[in-house]
Chains A and B, each alone.
Chain A
Amino acid sequence: MQTIVFFIFAFIAVAAAINMLVQKHPIHSALSLIVVMAMLSIFYVMLYAEFLAVVQVIVYAGAIMVLFVFVIMLLNPREESHRTRQNRFLLVAGVPLGLCLMAEIVILLRRAPLGENETGRQLVGTTEAVGRVLFTDYLLPFEFISVLILIAILGAVVLTKREL
């Protein structure tokens, strides 16, 4: 049962991802990306990580992508011409990078313990587990990231308010 559901959603996710690349209009690409995000969140649910699933939707689909769509709507670009597609630089840099990424995934997958992990189920994705881990083991990185984001926010404010 679970496997069937997984494959259905996995198929949708991959299709949406491909669609994102293929679509010419930025807004269609952005929407496809949102579909991918939604599918990812379903995978999280299937992994018993409800908190992550929900946060995935709130943060990525609900906030970040809204901003993307907002900006796209604001600029209202036309359909992308084919020019960028034929950029040689993309070919030269993109293919090796893609291969690297692929290799990484393969290595990671090979290292990862396959099969169901009953103990991991309860511990990884719940709100409590995430909170506990964040505020104990990973407190320092967590705080660092907060400061980093704060700096980014300040930077954004300064950039937009430059004319004042």
Chain B
Amino acid sequence: MSEFSSFLLGTTIKCIVVIAVLIGAVAYTTWLERKVVAHLQIRWGPSRVGWHGLLQPIADVLKLLLKEDMTPGQASKFLYVLAPLIAFVPAALSITVIPFGNVAHFGSQTVRFQITDLNVGILFIFAVTSVGVYGVALGGWASNNKYSLMGGLRSSAQMISYELSLGLSVVSVLLVTGTLSLGQIVDLQGGRWFGIIPKWNIFVFPLFISFFTYFVSAIAETNRLPFDLPEAENELVAGFHTEYSSMKFGMFFLTEYINMITVSAIATTLFFGGWHGPTFGPLWLRGILPLFWFVSKIVAFLLFYIWTRGTLPRFRYDQLMAFGWKFLVPLSLANVVLTSLVVAWRA
């Protein structure tokens, strides 16, 4: 087998596995969210379909698939169909450069738990997610509904605004690590200081500020409470996806949760040492454990997401913009300067 075709085969397998796992993860993220929010709100959540409602996500998917797929009469048909795809594809693409685990050895095969390690990995994610805005904006516009339009407008403004602070907060990490490759960023976070504190970026001096700005902007980017204005159901009915039904709605839904997972994965990679964590046991366990650590860190972030959703009220649109431009952007700018100074002083 030539080098190229083995690469092609390996990557294809990885892609399929990752996408399948991702969609499964999304399904169970929705379950997790419903269950956790329910318990926050002193109710049971899904409990009928399967043990503790564990089959609920499957039932939901079936329901979405079997629902009538409607297109509003006055909608711009082509864009209306295209929009969920535009939203979904970038969301799924951005997972490709994230390292899930260490290099593992299965017999003679060496597997790297990452689809591809681009040398501009983090920028690639930004590039891809920045295209995702179109899905929401066009979906809102093409539905030919005033609520949708307002949702679409809100979301495009919101996403552009928060992308800025998102990008700036990552810059500090890049300054410290000196690379754009996510694989290398994770590799650099291995080991411990004084034998106890893991060498995660979050513990490097000014980077907790960037983590803060990153995570806040990331919540805004993923349109989650308290920043879920594009779909604010109490003002805009359902925002940009008011008119969407069936699997087209399902795509938007998937996108939202994939984005949540991606954002958590990036946060883990950039600040929390990625897949690093204590490994022990036989060789196969050593291969699997990093994956486990990575997933648990993501789940921790997801739980945080859900927790905020259960706790906080929603911002108003102008307050959201003011918060982004007047607080987060200056803060992350100042943080970049601070980090540069620290890095320069250390060098």
Direct contact of A and B (CB under 8 A): yes
B160 and A67 form a contact (CB under 8 A): yes
A125 to chain B, nearest CB (A): 10
A62 to B123, CA, bound (A): 12
B137 and A70 form a contact (CB under 8 A): yes
Q: Which of B121-148 contact A (CB under 8 A)?
A: 123-124, 126-128, 130-131, 133-134, 137-138, 140-141
Contact mask A126-145 → B, CB, 8 Å, 1/0?
Answer: 11000000000000000000
Verify if A58 is at the interface (C-beta below 8 Å from B).
Answer: yes
Contact mask A48-64 → B, CB, 8 Å, 1/0?
Answer: 00110111011001110
B152 and A73 form a contact (CB under 8 A): yes
A34 and B134 form a contact (CB under 8 A): yes
Q: Which residue of A lies closest to B124 (CB)?
A: A54
* Interface of chain B: mostly helix, strand, loop or mixed: helix
A-B contact count (CB 8 A): 77
Enumerate chain A residues within 8 angstroms of B157, measured Cβ to Cβ.
Answer: 70
Q: Which residue of A lies closest to B82 (CB)?
A: A31
Enumerate chain A residues within 8 angstroms of B120, measured Cβ to Cβ.
Answer: 50-51, 54, 127
A129 to B346, CA, bound (A): 24
* Interface of chain A: mostly helix, strand, loop or mixed: helix
Verify if A69 is at the interface (C-beta below 8 Å from B).
Answer: yes
B163 and A62 form a contact (CB under 8 A): yes
Given that A66-B160, A67-B160, A70-B157 are known contacts, is A58 also in contact with B130, CB under 8 Å in the complex?
yes
Verify if B111 is at the interface (C-beta below 8 Å from A).
Answer: no
Verify if A22 is at the interface (C-beta below 8 Å from B).
Answer: no
Q: Which residue of B lies closest to A34 (CB)?
A: B134
Q: Which of B84-131 contact A (CB under 8 A)?
A: 118-120, 123-124, 126-128, 130-131
B123 and A55 form a contact (CB under 8 A): yes
A51 and B123 form a contact (CB under 8 A): yes
- Subset of 17 A-B contacts with CB under 8 Å: A27-B76, A34-B131, A57-B130, A58-B126, A58-B130, A62-B126, A66-B130, A66-B134, A66-B160, A69-B138, A70-B157, A73-B137, A73-B141, A73-B152, A73-B153, A73-B156, A127-B120
Binding site for B on A (CB under 8 A): 27, 31, 34, 38, 41, 50-51, 53-55, 57-58, 61-63, 66-67, 69-70, 73-74, 76, 126-127
